[in-house]
């Protein structure tokens, strides 16, 4: 059963709305002796997604009261609760080598999102109304203690897709996170195999951008569209749909008249003609489902850049206006404001969770990184209404919880983002961060040594830690906490103990001396900085240094003698995340306060007892 494409979602009390996820449509069959994942074409998928099968095997005892059952759903790699990385699932589906599949399953674990119930306890449910099927599906998930909503980085790989009673509730998060769209479902609809039903209507979340034409293929009637990237023409796809017969005839005539080459029915033309297309994001650098909207005769083809495409694909407030996109922010090589904002848009899914609900301090560089900079804490009077703020100790701080706020700040040339260790909703830290500060970048390997020494200690106590570059000359080691679980006094006891231990072990390499003149060539382990009112550079923030160095989260395996700050510019980090994912992707799902509390108890016991006055 497939949904029918619609331009608009229907309204009415008999309609509900679900997020449409972009992945592999699949059926999940579970009995007391067998688990089968299969595509809608009845292709076995167990071998391609072993992590999903393994999770269900682990949960089988809780699922047995409902077996045999069949679920309809989507296999996805979630990037947010409402969006997915379609390419990650496509790559997995093409893999054949079991060892490669297992490796990919570890790095990019996929989940099965269930949105319908076709069978339970061996009884077919397809003829009963959708409302009843959904209710029974929800009861199954609650009874088996499964995830009741999609959540990326969750260890529970069987997750429930809820519906919303209003279109706005469903659509807004999809728009905010560049999701694929929504599916409107009639509460009375039955499930009918092999048909495209009007009881389910899908509405897609299309992007719009402008491209220049570079060719026309007469054999299939497709026009080829391109953008300018790093000074070179980059093809991003071809289109045929959406253009009227009259427009097509005129465009074909122009292309043939101005063709620079012709061969086997393909006509190449020099960049000149600009068109606006709608499409569903990119897949491997190519437009998905592009269609023609209009000619853009007023556009210069050189304005159709890769960076502008990233901006156009981003789900941001319609009133945001970007100014001076060509302004150079870094020199040698030149990095423009447009490229910087495009970076913020691409890195936002990984960066925004660390900015969420934090009182933000930014450093702005209005004339680029070679000019003067200034700190900003207070929200300016000219900030638009969609920028949120929070009053704390007399300062009205900006709260950056969404992409619109992030790119608005980027347009204000806020290059550095500094965050406190607590949120606007907590009085105590939500993380511990050690700042490993060598005397210069030439002494960077001291930071590597200190970080690895810390990891050795943390591993002994089963404390999970996360390294990141400062983006300047050192490293930082993060440890996540449950909000308000430990006080600043307790975390100070922990950070001081670790710092003093490392200094005692390596007195010639490390120090806790606050005065720079007394440190010599030793690395400063700054545990004092972890305190109320202090800040740390946000993960993925750029720095206002000689190049666009990034406060890049790292995998521990990359913290070695080959590590350098210079290797983690903004473009390098985007490429790394595209290939390997975010090293901090499970950060907020792995709080370490219970383990640290046990260690604090040991630290307290190891302290020498004070002698009483009587003795």
In a domain, 290, yes or no: yes
Q: Give the separation between CA 271 and CA 233, rounded to whole angstroms.
A: 9
CA dist list (Å): 412 to 350, 364, 582: 21, 7, 27
To the query of whether residue 20 is one of the catalytic residues in this protein, the response is yes
Q: 197-231: per-residue pLDDT in tens? A: 999 999 998 989 999 999 999 999 999 999 999 88
- CA dist 239 and 223 (Å) reads 5
pLDDT above 70: percentage of residues in the chain = 99
CATH number of 463's domain:
3.90.920.10
Do 70 and 213 fall into the same domain? Answer: no
60 and 149 housed in the same domain: yes
Q: Are 480 and 587 in contact (CB under 8 A)?
A: yes
171: domain CATH number? 3.30.470.30
pLDDT tens readout for residues 444-454 = 999 999 999 99
In a domain, 360, yes or no: no
Residue 605 has pLDDT above 70, yes or no: yes
CA distance 192 to 194: 7
Residue 294: what pLDDT?
A: 94
Whether residues 40 and 136 fall in one domain: yes
pLDDT of residue 318: 67
Range of the structural domain that residue 94 is part of? 2-203
615 pLDDT tier (thresholds 50, 70, 90): very low
Has residue 420 been placed in a domain? no
3-state secondary structure of 197: strand
* Same-domain pairing of 521 and 491: yes
Distance, in Å, from the CA atom of 433 to the CA atom of 416, rounded to the nearest integer, reads 18
**Which long-range contacts does 144-147 make (Cβ < 8 Å, 24+ apart)?**
144/59, 144/62, 144/63, 144/66, 145/62, 146/59
> Which two three-digit tokens encode residue 23?
């992945």
Picking from 137, 172, 203, the residue at the C-terminal end of a domain is 203
For residue range 448-472, list pLDDT tens digits in order. Answer: 999 999 999 999 999 999 999 999 9
Is residue 425 pLDDT above 80, yes or no? yes
Residue 277: CATH number of its domain = 2.40.50.140
- Residue 287: how many other CB atoms lie within 10 Å: 23
Q: Mean per-residue pLDDT for 157-170?
A: 95
416 bridge partner residues: 363
DSSP for 343-408? HHHHHHHHHHHHHTT--BEEEE-TT-TTS--EEE-BPPTT--TTSEEEEETTEEEEE--SHHHHHH
Same domain, 464 and 514: yes
What pLDDT was estimated at residue 194?
Answer: 87
- What pLDDT is attached to residue 46? 95
Looking at the fold, whether 15 and 123 belong to one and the same domain comes out as: yes
| Beta carbons of 423 and 430 less than 8 angstroms apart | yes
Structure tokens, 321? 């206006």
Q: Which of 20, 136, 473, 547 is catalytic?
A: 20
What DSSP letter does each residue of 27-65 carry, written as one string? EEEE-SS-EEEEETT--B-TTT-HHHHHHHHHTHHHHGG
Tell me which residue has tokens 């690895």.
452
Whether residue 364 lies inside any domain: the answer is: no
Whether 108 and 122 map to the same domain: the answer is: yes
pLDDT in tens, 68-111: 999 999 999 988 788 888 888 988 999 999 988 988 888 789 99
pLDDT at 581: 87
Task: Please report the DSSP string for 117-138 in residue order.
Answer: EEEETTEE-TTS-HHHHHHHHH
On whether both 445 and 572 belong to a single domain, the answer is: yes
8 Å CB contact between 553 and 351: no
78 lies in the same domain as 180: yes
Which among 170, 203, 236 is the end of a domain?
203
Within 8 A by CB and 6+ apart from 131, the residues are 187, 188
For the ranges 54-58, 107-111, 517-521, 554-558, the lowest mean pLDDT is seen at 107-111
Same domain, 219 and 169: no
| Number of domains into which the chain is organized | 3
Establish if 128 belongs to a structural domain: yes
Render pLDDT for 559-584 as a digit per residue (tens, 0 to 9).
Answer: 999 999 999 999 999 999 988 889 99
Nearest to 117 by CA among 23, 182, 191, 17: 191
* pLDDT tops 80 at residue 494: yes
Show the tokens assigned to 148. Answer: 């009741």
Mean pLDDT for the stretch of residues 139-166: 93
222 lies in the same domain as 287: yes
Residue 272 belongs to a domain = yes
- Which of 25-29, 68-72, 516-520 comes out lowest in average pLDDT? 516-520
Last residue of one domain, picked from the residues 173, 203, 233: 203
Distance, in Å, from the CA atom of 203 to the CA atom of 597, rounded to the nearest integer, reads 49
Report if residue 568 sits inside a domain.
yes
* Cα(129)–Cα(150) distance, integer angstroms: 24
Q: Is residue 103 situated within a structural domain?
A: yes
Question: Per-residue pLDDT tens for 113-140?
Answer: 999 999 999 999 999 999 999 999 999 9
Instruction: Decide: helix, strand or coil at residue 101.
Output: helix
Residue 609 has pLDDT above 70, yes or no: no
Q: Is 115 in contact with 72 (CB distance < 8 Å)?
A: yes
Mean pLDDT (whole number) for 361-375: 96
What's residue 343's pLDDT? 95
Q: Indicate if 145 and 221 belong to the same structural domain.
A: no
């Amino acid at each position: 059963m497939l949904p029918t494409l619609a331009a608009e979602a229907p309204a009415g009390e008999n309609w509900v709305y679900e997020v449409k996820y972009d992945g592999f449509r699949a059926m999940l069959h579970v009995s007391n002796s067998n688990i089968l994942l299969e595509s809608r074409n009845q292709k076995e998928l167990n071998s391609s997604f072993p992590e999903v099968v393994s999770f269900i095997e682990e949960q089988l005892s809780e699922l047995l009261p409902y077996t045999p059952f069949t679920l309809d759903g989507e296999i996805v790699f979630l990037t947010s609760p409402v969006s997915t990385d379609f390419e990650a699932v496509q790559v997995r589906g093409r893999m054949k080598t079991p060892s490669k599949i297992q490796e990919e399953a570890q790095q990019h674990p996929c989940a099965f999102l269930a949105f319908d119930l076709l069978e339970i306890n061996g009884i077919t449910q397809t003829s009963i109304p959708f409302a009843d099927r959904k209710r029974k599906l929800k009861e199954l998930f609650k009874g088996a203690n499964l995830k009741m909503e999609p959540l990326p980085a969750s260890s529970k790989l069987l997750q429930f897709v809820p519906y919303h009673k209003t279109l706005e509730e469903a659509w807004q998060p999809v728009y905010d996170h560049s999701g694929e769209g929504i599916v409107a479902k009639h509460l009375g609809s039955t499930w009918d195999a092999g048909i495209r039903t009007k009881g389910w209507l899908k509405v897609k979340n299309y992007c719009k951008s402008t491209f220049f034409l570079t060719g026309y293929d007469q054999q299939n009637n497709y026009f080829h569209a391109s953008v300018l990237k790093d000074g070179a023409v980059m093809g991003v796809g071809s289109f045929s749909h959406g253009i009227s017969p009259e427009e097509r005839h005129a465009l074909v005539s122009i292309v043939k008249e101005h063709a620079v080459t012709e061969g086997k029915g393909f006509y190449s033309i020099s960049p000149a003609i600009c068109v606006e297309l709608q499409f569903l994001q990119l897949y491997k650098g190519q437009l998905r489902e592009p269609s023609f909207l209009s000619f853009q005769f007023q556009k210069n083809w050189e304005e159709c850049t890769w960076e502008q495409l990233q901006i156009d694909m981003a789900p941001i407030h319609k009133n945001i206006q970007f100014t001076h996109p060509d302004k150079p922010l870094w020199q040698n090589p030149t990095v423009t404001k447009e490229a910087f904002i495009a970076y913020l848009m691409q890195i936002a899914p990984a960066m925004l969770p660390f900015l969420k609900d934090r009182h933000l301090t930014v450093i702005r560089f209005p004339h680029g990184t070679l000019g003067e900079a200034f700190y900003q804490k207070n929200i300016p009077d000219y900030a638009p209404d969609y920028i949120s703020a929070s009053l704390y100790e007399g300062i009205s701080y900006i709260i950056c919880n969404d992409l619109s706020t992030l790119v608005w700040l980027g347009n204000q040339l806020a290059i550095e983002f500094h965050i406190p260790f607590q949120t606007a909703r907590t009085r105590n830290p939500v993380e511990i961060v050690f700042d490993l500060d060598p005397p210069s970048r030439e002494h960077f390997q001291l930071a590597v040594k200190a970080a690895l020494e810390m990891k050795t200690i943390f591993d002994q106590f089963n404390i999970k830690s996360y390294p990141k570059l400062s983006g300047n000359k050192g490293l930082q080691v993060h440890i996540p906490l449950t909000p308000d679980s430990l006080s600043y006094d307790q975390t100070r006891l922990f950070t001081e103990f670790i710092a003093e231990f490392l200094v005692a072990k390596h007195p010639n390499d490390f120090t806790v001396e606050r005065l720079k003149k007394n440190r010599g060539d030793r690395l400063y382990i700054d545990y004092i900085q972890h305190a109320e009112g202090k800040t740390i550079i946000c993960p993925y923030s750029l720095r206002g240094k000689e190049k666009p160095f990034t406060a890049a989260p790292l995998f521990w395996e990359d913290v070695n003698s080959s590590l350098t700050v210079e290797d983690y510019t903004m473009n390098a980090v985007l490429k790394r995340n595209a290939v390997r994912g975010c090293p901090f992707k499970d950060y907020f799902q792995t709080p370490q306060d219970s383990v640290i509390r046990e260690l604090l108890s040991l630290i307290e016991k190891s302290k020498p007892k004070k002698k009483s006055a009587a003795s």
